[in-house]
Amino acid sequence: MGLFGSKDNVEDLLYNAMSLMEKNQPKGAISLFNKVLKQESKNTSALFNKGLALNQIKKYSDAITCFDILLDINPKDAQAWNNRGIAMAENGNIQAAAECYDKAIDADPKKTNGQIFNVGFRNQSVNELAYDVKNVIGNDIKIINTKSNDNRSYHVSSDKIKSVLGFETKCTVKDAVQDLKDAFERKLLINTFNNEFFFNIKRMNSIKLK
């Protein structure tokens, strides 16, 4: 704050807020973004990064509000659509999240046309995956380790989709296992060893996909 109660400099506030974001201090950053927005209610940098910070501290409804304001300013803001989708998904509104992701792609097709993106949580060994399943399903599951001559690597990098589209996965392998467990218990998945819908190659052959 300068002399005689003059306003904080917006550029300094943004700089300090981003420094706090880099230090993983989103709550402090939000306080500074609010100061910026008090002076400039449509400062897109403050709105966007405040939305990211709110997502980080799991205040998803407030984050959605920030991204909505951004989209009122620029309906073609692909990053705003994408991060709004993330907030929607975390709020449990998967359909709305998918619609946001579609709009993110439509908003800036140059970023996705002709591109290939890997999307993954993180790379895990077979043993790590087995223990993730056991932790969700129950300790009565026995894990048997056997030797294998298969040295293939299934390592993938999701860095590209993060840098180009700003997309990061939020759900883990354990989340997926829990979803499957819930679906089986609710009898939503039936005849999974014979139904072609649960086998990529069988389904592709059935519909003659080339």
What pLDDT, in 10s, does the model give residues 145-190?
A: 988 888 777 788 888 887 877 777 777 899 889 989 998 898 888 8
Write the CA distances from 177 to 19, 130, 156, 180, integer angstroms.
37, 11, 20, 5
CB 34 within 8 A of CB 50: yes
Which residues, including other chains, have CB under 8 Å from residue 168's CB and lie 6 or more apart?
86, 158, 162
Write the CA distances from 38 to 48, 59, 141, 199, integer angstroms.
15, 20, 56, 54
How far, in Å, CA of 7 to CA of 35, rounded? 9
Whose tokens are 């060994």? That residue is: 125
At 28, the amino acid letter reads G
What local confidence, expressed as pLDDT, does residue 7 receive?
Answer: 64
pLDDT at 20 over 60: yes
Residues of the chain with CATH 1.25.40.10: 3-111
The phi-psi region of residue 75 (left if phi > 0; otherwise alpha if psi is between -120 and 50; otherwise beta) is: alpha
Q: What is residue 1's three-state secondary structure? A: coil
Write the CA distances from 180 to 97, 124, 175, integer angstroms.
20, 19, 9
Nearest in space to 89 (alpha carbons), one of 203, 168, 9:
168
In tens, the pLDDT along 80-93 reads 998 999 999 888 88
End-to-end Cα separation, the chain, in angstroms: 65
- The two tokens of residue 175 are 């989340």
Across the chain, mean pLDDT equals: 87
Mean pLDDT of 5-20: 86
Does domain 3-111 correspond to CATH entry 1.10.3720.10? no
- The two tokens of residue 195 are 């139904």
At 95, the amino acid letter reads Q
pLDDT at 4 over 60: no
